[in-house]
Amino acid sequence: MASKGRSAKFYASNPEAYKKKLAYDKKKNATPEAKDYRAELARERRARGLMGKGGPDVSHVAGGGFKLENPKKNRARNGHGNNGRLAPGKGTKKAKR
């Protein structure tokens, strides 16, 4: 099993900060934009036959579309510092709108 990352260690030793983070995440994930974002990715996973089977993440690509990507790489690239939020390269779409 992998060791905990820096954030996980921080929240494990600061329960009040963890409660604050959970409250913020709950509020953010309840917004219509967040729901649409998750629904779009779920639709693409379903179209590719990956839904409910684990495996790679379906991530948004800078030029539009999606690509399959290692979950660790996808979730680490979150827009902080010089990192863009979207994956580099060309994506494809399998789901019909």
For residue range 39-95, what is the model confidence (pLDDT) as tens digits? 998 999 999 998 888 889 888 888 788 989 888 888 777 766 666 677 777 777 766
> Is the pLDDT assigned to residue 23 strictly greater than 60?
yes
Tokens 């983070």 correspond to what residue? 21
HSE of 66 in the Cβ direction (CA atoms, 13 Å)?
20
Give how far Cα 68 sits from Cα of 2, 34, 47, 77, Å: 23, 20, 13, 14
Residue 97: pLDDT above 60? no
Confidence class of residue 11 from pLDDT cuts 50, 70 and 90? very high
